[in-house]
A and B are shown apart, each in its own frame.
Chain A
Amino acid sequence: MFSLKTCSVDGCHHYICAGEETCYHHSRDQETILAQAQSLLAGSSDLFDLSVSEAHFSHLTLLPRRMAGNNLAWCTFTDVDFSSLAMTNCFFDFCLFERCRFNAVDVRHTVFAGSRFLSCDLSNSRFIHTNFSGIAAFTTNFSECDFYYSTFNTAFLTDSPFEDCNLKKTDFRHSLRKNISFRYSNLEEAHR
């Protein structure tokens, strides 16, 4: 699990980067921290306890492996391929995902709440016990996924299909859905 200590700068509530006293935003050596994070993300070893907030990542392909206990809240991801990863207990809250791919991922107990998904592909994956509360998704494909016990409450979903999904105990309460297809999905078993 990433360190739950917060940044030493007064008024900043972000978590510190591993081995630092400040968060990424207040670090004096942002370039080194970002380079380390990019190399860890692009590497082939299992990735645990990484903590970088408010960083920008683009044009990365993450190799299939395990990720656990990572904090990447408030980051932006453009053209990043997360496919075939196994992810547990990771925090991607309030991120921006643009043209990212999450195909055949196995995600559990992970947080994407408050994030924006623009033209992303999450199809053919498992998102079990995953928090999508308050997300905004535009032209993003959620089809052929298992969303058991995941939450989409207060989400804003537009032009994003949820076809052939397992929606048992999935929470869509207070969500706004525009042009969403639930064909072949068990929407009757979801909370809405």
Chain B
Amino acid sequence: MKIYQYFSASALCNSYLVANKETGRALLIDPGSVEVELVRLIECHHFSLEHVLLTHGHLSHWEGLGTLKKIYPVEVWASEHSRFSFPFKAVTDGEKLDLCGLPIEAIHVPGHSLDSIVWKIGGALFTGDVLHSGWVGKSGGLSEQRLLLDVIEKKLLTLDENTLIFSGHGSPSKLRIERLFNADLRPSRVRTPTP
């Protein structure tokens, strides 16, 4: 598996190009903006872009999709809870896929938005706005924040601590690093007693 980060200075979000090393078949996660550099990244490596995975419905994470679809015949995957004006294939929590010869699992982590999906591809998590290096995604209110922290603790922090984290904003990380240094994930914050 090959992973390439692309930071769009206009959408201010990270996109990830994930390719099968053997076949050159590739997928793109969160095309916030499609610029010449991103197309060059795909073409210079002779990748065949086949799929787009969306982490959630916020515009800055999929605004480039229209441009991308004019260039590549991609199939779009997103949460069953997403509402988009374009056609997409819906995935449910825990659903396993085989795209581009890569083992993919969809993990539903609501809280930042109802339709947030963390994509697990091999030993890497693509967390969108759910979990970043050093902080947890923002939520609309306290109950959503508690839900987000609870689901992160149950579904993500139970995974292998060497799992790589590639988030929608900021730098890459590992689960071990976030467990140790992410102040938002400290036990006192995660286990807020229910009133």
Of B4, B123, B135, B177, the contact of A113 (CB 8 Å cutoff): B177
Q: How many residues does chain B have at the interface if contact means C-beta atoms less than 8 Å apart?
A: 30
Q: Residue of B at shortest CB range from A171?
A: B134
> Which of the 9-residue segments A31-39, A147-155, A180-188 touches chain B?
A147-155
B183 is an interface residue with CB less than 8 A from chain A = yes
A15 lies within 8 A of B177 (CB):
no
Question: Chain A nearest CB: distance from B172 CB in Å?
Answer: 6
B172 lies within 8 A of A111 (CB):
yes
B11 is an interface residue with CB less than 8 A from chain A = no
A131 is an interface residue with CB less than 8 A from chain B = yes
B172 lies within 8 A of A89 (CB):
yes
Of B1, B173, B180, B181, the contact of A1 (CB 8 Å cutoff): B1
B177 lies within 8 A of A131 (CB):
yes
A1 lies within 8 A of B3 (CB):
yes
A154-B183, A171-B135 as given contacts; A4 in contact with B161, CB under 8 Å = no
A111-B172, A113-B173 as given contacts; A133 in contact with B3, CB under 8 Å = no
Could you say which residues of chain A place their CB within 8 Å of the CB of B133? Answer: 113, 131, 133, 151, 153, 171
A13 is an interface residue with CB less than 8 A from chain B = yes
Q: Residue of B at shortest CB range from A132?
A: B171
B121-137 CB mask vs A (1 if < 8 Å, else 0) is 01110000000011100
A161 is an interface residue with CB less than 8 A from chain B = no
Max chain A Cβ within 10 angstroms of own Cβ: one of B162, B169, B171, B180: B171
- Mark A residues whose CB is within 8 Å of B: 1, 4-6, 13-15, 69, 88-89, 91, 93, 108-111, 113-114, 128-131, 133-134, 149-151, 153-154, 171, 173-174
Known: A13-B162, A153-B133. 13 other contacts (CB 8 A): A1-B1, A1-B21, A6-B160, A91-B172, A111-B173, A111-B177, A129-B5, A129-B14, A129-B170, A129-B171, A149-B169, A153-B183, A171-B133
A-B contact pairs, 26 of them (CB 8 A): A4-B123, A6-B162, A13-B162, A91-B164, A93-B176, A93-B177, A108-B5, A109-B5, A110-B171, A110-B172, A111-B172, A113-B181, A114-B180, A128-B7, A129-B171, A131-B170, A133-B181, A149-B170, A149-B171, A151-B133, A153-B182, A154-B180, A154-B181, A171-B133, A171-B170, A173-B183
